[in-house]
Amino acid sequence: MIKKVLIANRGEIALRIIRACRELDIRSVAVFSQADADSLHVRFADEAICIGPPDSARSYLNIPNIITAAQIAGVDAIHPGYGFLAENAYFADICEECGIRFIGPSSEVIRLMGDKSQARKSMSSAGVPIVPGTEEKFTSDDQLVKACEKIGYPLIIKASAGGGGKGMRVVETPDFLLKAYRQASAEAGSSFGNDQVYIERFLSPVRHVEFQILADNYGNVIYLGERDCSIQRRHQKLIEEAPSPALSESLRIEMGSAAAKAAKAIGYQNAGTVEFLLTESGTFYFMEMNTRIQVEHPITEEITGVNLVKEQIRIASGMEMKHRASFNTFFGHAIECRINAEDPVHFQPVPGTVETCNFPGGLGIRVDTALYPGYKVQPFYDSMLAKLIVRGEDREEAVSRMKRALDEFVIEGIPTTIDFHKKVITDPLFKAGKYNTSFLVGWDRRHV
């Protein structure tokens, strides 16, 4: 078993990993930037090492400082959390070379799934349905136009190395194709240092449904049900729920089996997530695979009872996983709201100091956060303040519990998205579970 883990992250996820270490009797080492010296992850880890200035490029992304800290502290393993170095194949390689276990899949798998057009090909050959499209590189405009006619409009151009909506263009009609293609390539080149793009049919309306996978080093692969992450704004997830209100048990088994098969086909190890687009008629397509723990993993933990971060550490230690059967039935229903430090009108991140705060409590409530009264929201990092997770016996109870929890949740001193979440949770379409990824399009006009 791993004895000591360095957590190459900050905020609530660093705290989440420290908690798992504590329960497994593993020593934890926090790393922090100068802006985070007063953070809870620094306080609750067994050891803490300052690795750089506030700018994350020189601290949380500073591979030499993180590896040196790991060597000085004498850790066996590094947990990367999500974001920062979590899906950096080069970092995983270096950990391996330095004899430090990277808690996640192999660097080859990270590299393969990080190249979105390669991932499409791998999934397609594993028999997983992919969105109609092409990864071809085009040498002439003519070829491009013909290929797109075949795919059918509207279509979407995405960066192969991409994520977060950058290098992405929706093309409604052929007139805008060439311009959009050039813009997407240029943006991909400047954002990711790789101008390769791929083209897919733009499906709408769709839901974003993802399956949680666990795979150990002995060929065991299971899925732990799904999460519906269709409530998004500019490709950023805001509310997630599990199970999805849109899935029947037979569709769950079909999609979950496809996800597990995909993971097995690429030799996946540790925790991962296979994302699908699901149409209203129940057709599903592979979108991408995330080779890390996800922000929204707690809702899966709530309805399955599996501690995913502990399982990650156990699997990385070379142990067989505890559960051998996939999960198709659950302990009730869970919802997560991501509370961000944002102005509620324009959704722009707002730094500042939390003067006071009160976290909701009671049965079925979980708050994953690194917040405390006096906490300074730094302009250098992500604006997420807290994840409010509730579980109810069924969806109806979970929704009313979320409403109750949001009413108890107080953060003073900075603007937050708490009120926005209250409006969404009480929206008739949300209450009925009848929403898709376009739910928030035009939301501001309807509600402000």
Partner 1 sequence: MINIDNKKIKQLAAMMKQEGVVEFELKEGEHFIRIKRESSNINMPPIQAAPAQPVSISSGSERKVEVAEETKEGPASGNQHVVSPIVGTFYRAPSPKADPYVKVGDKVQKGQVLCILEAMKLMNELEAEYPCEIVKILVNNAQPVEYAEPLFEVKPL
Which residues of this protein are in contact with partner 1, per CB under 8 A? 30, 34, 37-39, 42-43, 45-53, 59, 64-69, 71-72, 98, 372, 374, 376
CB of 72 or CB of 410, closer to partner 1 = 72
Query: Helix 89-97 vs helix 63-73: angle between axes, to the nearest 10 degrees?
Result: 30
In whole angstroms, give the CA distance from residue 74 to residue 166: 38
Q: Please, what sign has the CA dihedral across residues 325, 327, 332, 337?
A: positive
Dihedral in degrees, nearest 10, Cα atoms 112, 117, 119, 124: -140
Q: How far is the CB of 246 from partner 1 (least distance, A)?
A: 44
Sequence-separated (6 or more) residues with CB below 8 Å from residue 319: 1, 216
Decide whether 65 or 279 has the Cβ nearer to partner 1. 65
Residues in the chain: 448
CB of 98 to partner 1, least distance (A): 7
CB of 114 to partner 1, least distance (A): 24
Would you say the C-alpha torsion 107, 270, 79, 340 has a positive or negative sign? positive
Q: Helix, strand, or coil here: 26?
A: coil
Least distance in angstroms from the C-beta of 103 to partner 1: 20
Q: Which two tokens stand for residue 434?
A: 């009848």
Minimum distance from residue 85 beta carbon to partner 1 (Å): 15
Residue 258, SS3 per DSSP: helix
Known catalytic residue: 292? yes
Least distance (Å) between residue 72 CB and partner 1: 4
Q: How far is CA 364 from CA 28, 228, 334, 397, in A?
A: 28, 19, 9, 10
- Shortest distance, CB of residue 63 to partner 1, whole angstroms? 9
Candidates 120, 169, 292, 338; catalytic one: 292
Tell me whether residue 52 or residue 133 sits nearer to partner 1 (CB atom). 52
Structural contact between residues 353 and 375, judged by C-beta atoms closer than 8 angstroms: yes
Q: What is the DSSP string of 201-255?
A: E---SEEEEEEEEEE-TTS-EEEEEEEEEEEEETTEEEEEEES-TT--HHHHHHH
Say if CB 98 and CB 71 are below 8 A apart: yes
Specify the residue, 46 or 343, whose C-beta has the smaller distance to partner 1.
46
Cβ atoms within 10 A of the Cβ of 74, count? 12
The strand pairing partners of 52, in sequence order, are 33
Q: Among residues 43 and 395, whose Cβ is nearest to partner 1?
A: 43
Q: Which residue lies nearer to partner 1 by CB, 47 or 343?
A: 47
Q: CA angle 13-50-5, nearest 5°?
A: 50
Q: Which residue has the tokens 């324009």?
A: 346
Q: Nearer Cβ to partner 1, position 52 or 114?
A: 52
Catalytic residues: 292
